[in-house]
Structure 1
Amino acid sequence: MKLLRVISTIDPRSGGPSEGARKIDAELLKLGHSIEVLTLDGPHEKFIAEYPTAVHALGPSSRGYRYNGRVVNWLKVNAHKYDAVIVNGIWQYHSFAVWRALSGIKAPYFVFSHGMLDPWFKYRYPIKHLKKWLYWPWAEYRVLRDANAVIFTCEEEKLLARKSFWLYKIKEAVTSYGTSTPPAGGEGFAAQFVVKYPELQGKRIVLFLGRIHEKKGCDLLLTSFAEVAKADERLHLVIAGPDKSGLGEHLRDIARRLGVDQRILWTGMLQGNEKWGAFHSAEVFCLPSHQENFGIAVAEALACGKPVLISNKVNIWREIENDNVGFIDDASIAGTTRNLRRWLSMRSDDYREMCVRARRSFDERFHIRGAAERLVEIITEAK
């Protein structure tokens, strides 16, 4: 099968959708399928050449909505070359452009919503939600209504998506999601990571890895860490991720005010072996998000055999609970603190057993190969 992925950006700094697309596309190639990418990025960006498949970069595009007048014409000329089009994300021009280009010729297309229909956004940003209502009926609603399927990465995301807009009529499909197997040599990566950051030598590391963004709950984690850090002077928090929102300085102020700034390492974005070194050197991964569609970093932590401490707003929390590979609580200071304390109170044997279950959970639920196979199945059944 020959597929075209349409996505606003494949910049790794943009978070889960671009990372998930990269991993799935690599697996699709292994399964014998052909896939190309259409993106609104500029053609000279470094990450374009690093993508595992052919990329058609039509940028630069205008900021915000990322309008790009070249996309519709490109699709009208080239869409017939592909068996199906896969759209990653909504609320930016690329999804509306696909609808404009393909609706007249009835070419099959499928949409990953990536949690962008979660009702949390409606309550957290009511003014922005009102603005979305102004173009929902004539834009995104039509994009989703006319898609051969709207694909959700877990059952929880599908159920939540039904609550954001009353004008809602789509064909639903659910697939697994996740990441690929980490490279071998985890202990070596961990050792290299500690060499680079010697202040971590002999520490018990709590890892947060993801975008520094309001919805991720980093402020909750800082406050909770300050509370539990009193119990063990070896505890150290690593916060790794890009800060495109400018929230980092505010979080550093919180850490200084709480008196734990010397026990927190801010690494910026980590990639490659350095990222895997962070996972392998940590005891647990913590993600107290207010809203999280899936959480690829959760799957990455499990792949490294690390228990996860997450909020019940991370949509795969039921799977984590069923597999007993971490602790789940509210997206609050109290809930995050309880998660940290549950981990700290574990016996060594129980912790080691949870680590074994974590890797097993990844293999059975969250390996990206299953997501790629299921995607092909959805496309085949719905066309």
Structure 2
Amino acid sequence: MKILHVIPSVDPKYGGPIEGVTQLSVVCRDLGVEVEICSLDAPDAACVRNSQALIHALGPAVGSYWYSRSLVPWLKMHSHEYDAVIVNGLWQYVGFAVWRVLAKSSTPYFVFPHGMLGPWFKHTYPLKHFKKWFYWSWAEYRVLRDARKVIFTCDSERLLARESFWLYKVNEAVSGFGVANPPANGEELAARFLAGYPHLRGKRIILFLGRIHEVKGCDLLIEAFAKISHHDEQLHLLIAGPDQIGWAAKLKAQAESSGLAHRITWPGMLQADMKWGAIYATEVFCLPSHHENFGIVVAEALACGKPVLISNKVNIWREIEADGAGLVEDDTLAGTVTNFERWLAMSQAEFQTMTARTATCFASRFHVQRAAERLLEIIRESK
């Protein structure tokens, strides 16, 4: 079997989809499946040059829609070489281009929405949602309608997607998602990370790792930290990730006004060993997100044995709560504060029990091997 993933960009700064595609691809190759990626990055982009995957880079694309005049001709020439084409994400040109070429062809295509049908955006940005209606009715609706399957990473995502647009007709499937085993040399990686940030040695680190974006609840995180920081002078907040919308300046001003700027560290985007080192060096991972389709980094934290403090808008919260691998509250200031207070009130024995449960939760629910096997099953069943 040969699969083509189509995605706007393979640059990791755009969040979880490309990380998920990369990890799925590695396991699929181990299972004897050829996997290639088509992106709209410039061929000489660093993210293309540094990737271990076979990437057909057809950019640079134009605008936030990621339009490329090269994509449709390339698909017409090469799509017959693949047993399945998988579109990753919505609201960008890649989906419409795949639909134009493959809707009536013998090559089946599938769509991973990656949470882009979540209702949070509908309620938070009603004007943008209204504008999307015009695009939805003549383009995105057809992309989803004619896909062999629209694949959701968890059942919560599948159910929430039905709330976004009333003109909604898709062939649903749930594949799961996940990550591979993390590096085993956790102590070494943590030491290497702390060598780069020596002021964090001996601190009880609370880690946020992800895009600096309103949807992630970073403002709630800072305000909640200000309310609980008096519990222990060693508590320290680490907010790591790319700032795509220029929000970090406002958040840093918020931290200054709270008088806690010296207890919050902003290392920017962390990758490879530095990312893993940060996770291993932390005590808990925190994500008070207003909308989170799956949460690749949540699974990574669990894989490293770190309990997670998350909101009930992270779509895998039910599984984590059921396994006792973390704490879950509302995506509000009160909920975020409560998560912190519940964690800080734990006895050492209680926290060690929760820590032990993270590995079981990861292995049984969020390992990428299971997700890859299920994805291939969906493709084979759809032939």
* TM bucket, shorter chain: over 0.9
Structure 2 partner of 1:134: 134
- Aligned partner of 2:235 in structure 1 is 235
1:105 aligns with 2:105: yes
Is 1:295 paired with 2:273?
no
CA distance in 2: counterparts of 1:73 and 1:104, whole angstroms: 16
Residue 338 of structure 1 corresponds to which residue in structure 2? 338
What is the Cα deviation at residue 36 of structure 1?
A: 0.7
Instruction: Specify the SS of the correspondent of 1:305.
Output: coil
Residue ranges of structure 1 left out of the alignment (5+ in a row) = none
Superposition map of 1:218-367 within 5 A: 218-367=218-367
Instruction: For residue 63 of structure 1, report the CA deviation from its aligned partner.
Output: 1.3
Matched, 1:62 2:87: no
- In the alignment, does 2:212 pair up with 1:212? yes
The Cα shift of 1:53 comes to 2.1
Q: Please name the residue that 2:369 is paired with.
A: 369
Aligned to 1:382: 382
Aligned to 2:23: 23
The answer to whether residue 214 in structure 2 is matched with residue 196 in structure 1 is no
Amino acid at match of 2:22: R
The CA distance in 2 between the partners of 1:322 and 1:50, in whole Å, is: 39
Equivalent AA in structure 1 for residue 350 of structure 2: D
Q: Which amino acid aligns with 1:202?
A: G
Separation of aligned partners in 1, 2:321 and 2:105: 45
2:239 aligned counterpart, secondary structure: strand
Match of 2:51 in 1: 51
Kindly indicate whether the alpha-carbon contact (under 8 Å) linking 2:2 and 2:33 is maintained by their aligned counterparts in 1.
Answer: yes
- The letter for the 1-side match of 2:101 is A
Specify the code of the residue in structure 1 equivalent to 2:368: I
1:93-172 to structure 2, matched below 5 A, reads 93-172=93-172
2:291/2:313 contact within 8 Å kept: yes
Separation (CA, whole Å) in 2 of partners of 1:299 and 1:36:
25
Superposition CA RMSD, Å: 0.8
- Cα drift, residue 51 of structure 1: 2.2
**Residues 165-219 of structure 1: per-residue CA shift (max 9 Å, x gap):** 1111100000111111111110111111112111111111100000101100000
- Counterpart of 1:187 in structure 2 is 187
Deviations along 1:348-379, whole A, 9 cap, x unmatched?
11111111110111111111111111100000
TM-superposed deviation, 1:137: 1.5
Helix, strand or coil: the match of 1:44? Answer: coil
TM-fit CA distance, 1:30? 1.2
Counterpart residue type for residue 121 of structure 1? F
**Number of residue pairs aligned between Structure 1 and Structure 2:** 383
The residue type paired with residue 260 of structure 1 is L
Letter in 1 for 2:116: M
8 Å contact kept, 1:25–1:52: no
Task: Give the C-alpha shift of residue 50 in structure 1.
Answer: 2.5
| CA distances 1:85-132 after superposition (whole Å, capped 9, x unpaired) | 011001000000000011132420000000100111111111111111
Structure 1 consecutive aligned stretches of length 4 or more whose deviation exceeds 4 Å: none
d(CA) in 1 for partners of 2:52, 2:352: 36
User: Once the two structures are aligned, what percentage of the paired residues are identical?
Assistant: 57
Q: Secondary structure of 1:19's partner? A: helix
> Could you give the per-residue CA deviations for residues 316-352 of structure 1, whole angstroms, max 9, x where no partner exists?
1101111111110111111000001111111111111
Aligned 8 A contact 2:82 2:107 in 1: no
Q: Tell me the TM-score normalized by structure 1.
A: 0.99
1:27 positional shift = 1.1
What is the deviation of 1:49?
2.4
